[in-house]
């Protein structure tokens, strides 16, 4: 018996009947021989962690564009917080923690530079529109490894694709990541907004904090417990008496932070940068060599979208400066 087989035997002994078992995965687009140490979901997790798109998340905006403070979240730290919350819920419900973690680590790989401002800009430029959750699935299926993709299991790709609005994930593990994403971003965005001086803890509606908690850790604890206590029968959900104030807190954040003109003042510059990069790389011959395969097989506009979506905030600004800003004469 291999280590993988032993792990899968233990899964059968300890996981809920509602769990996604790794020995019953729907498989990969391109079949592969099983690993002797890792289950298919563990291999997917490792492939995501080691891919270039995952590393670039450390320099992509979460809420505030290119923050200079040491403690503001980036898209990478957001991803890690989502993964930790999701793993806690999955373990408490005896669901597949490896699958949950793989989905969580991959859920935002398709995010653009400059956060949702970059997503909105690309949505205006890309034929057929642009949605980051679809791009996240495309990254692992197509863009990574110079057009080969990571060849992940269907369960992981489905969870990544369905982590936000629209269709629910087929697995409960994928549904856990969806609710964990909301729990994570609302609470750490409150924390970052307080650090930035946009809001204070006292600005949060007291009727909501009395129910959810008066600190980030208290609120996360309340929300995680609510999901665990309400999701015992094969459905991931939150208790209505907790979900209602949580939804109200989310509306408060949209009004006070996400749509705050002061907090988002620099975002008005993003469409110009993204638009000029799209224009430049949309000229034949301007894309880098590692995008040639996608350009040839999927078309130039698709390759340009993939390339720009993969940029970090800093790299996008640097390329814009390199292409469009005259350099000083230094001879």
pLDDT at 264: 82
CB neighbours (10 Å) of residue 162? Answer: 22
The verdict on residue 95 lying in a domain is: yes
* pLDDT tens digits, 172-204: 999 999 999 999 999 999 999 999 999 999 999
What are phi and psi for residue 51, nearest 5 degrees? -85, 160
- Residue by residue, DSSP assigns 288-305 as -GGGHHHHHHH-HHHHHH
Q: For residue 330, tell me if it sits in a domain.
A: no
Mean of pLDDT over the chain: 95
Question: What CATH number did the domain enclosing 86 receive?
Answer: 1.10.3210.10
Kindly state whether residue 213 falls inside one of the protein's structural domains: yes
Q: Which tokens is 107 given? A: 């859920």
Residue 263 pLDDT level (bands cut at 50, 70, 90)? confident
Give CA–CA dist 150/136, Å, rounded.
12
pLDDT at 266 over 90: no
Residue 120 tokens, joined: 């909105």
How many structural domains does the chain have?
1
Query: Is 329 inside any structural domain?
Result: no
Q: Is residue 331 part of a domain?
A: no
For the residues 146-160, what does the mean pLDDT come to? 97
The pLDDT value recorded for residue 292 is: 93
Expressed as residue numbers, the domain containing 59 is 3-324
DSSP helix/strand/coil, 46: helix
pLDDT tens profile 32-68: 999 999 999 999 999 999 999 999 999 998 888 766 7
Q: What is the pTM of this model?
A: 0.96
């Amino acid at each position: 018996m291999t280590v993988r087989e032993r792990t899968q035997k233990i899964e059968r002994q300890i996981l809920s009947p509602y769990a996604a078992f790794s020995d019953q995965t729907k498989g990969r687009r391109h079949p592969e021989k099983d690993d002797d140490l890792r289950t298919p979901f563990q291999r997917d997790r490792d492939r995501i962690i080691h891919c270039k798109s995952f590393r670039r998340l450390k320099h992509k905006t979460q809420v505030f564009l290119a923050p200079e403070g040491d403690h503001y979240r980036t898209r990478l730290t957001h991803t890690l917080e989502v993964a930790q919350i999701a793993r806690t819920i999955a373990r408490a419900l005896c669901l597949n923690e490896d699958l949950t973690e793989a989905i969580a680590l991959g859920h935002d790989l398709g995010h653009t530079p400059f956060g949702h401002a970059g997503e909105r800009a690309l949505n205006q430029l890309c034929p057929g529109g642009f949605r980051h959750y679809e791009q996240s699935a495309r990254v692992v299926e197509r863009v990574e490894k110079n057009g080969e993709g990571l060849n992940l299991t269907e369960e992981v790709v489905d969870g990544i694709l369905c982590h936000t609005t629209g269709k629910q994930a087929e697995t409960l593990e994928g549904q856990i990541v969806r609710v964990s994403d909301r729990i994570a971003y609302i609470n750490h965005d409150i924390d970052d907004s307080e650090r930035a001086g946009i809001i204070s803890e006292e600005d949060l509606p007291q009727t909501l904090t009395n129910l959810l908690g008066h600190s980030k850790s208290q609120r996360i604890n309340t929300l995680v417990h609510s999901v665990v206590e309400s999701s015992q029968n094969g459905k991931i959900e939150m208790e209505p008496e907790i979900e209602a104030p949580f939804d109200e807190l989310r509306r408060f954040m949209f009004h006070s932070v996400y749509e705050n003109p002061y907090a988002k003042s620099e975002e008005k510059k993003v469409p110009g940068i993204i638009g000029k990069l799209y224009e430049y790389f949309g000229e034949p011959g301007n894309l880098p060599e590692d995008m040639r395969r996608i350009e040839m097989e999927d078309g130039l506009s698709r390759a340009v979208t993939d390339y720009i979506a993969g940029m970090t905030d800093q790299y996008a600004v640097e390329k814009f400066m390199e292409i469009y800003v005259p350099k000083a004469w230094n001879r």
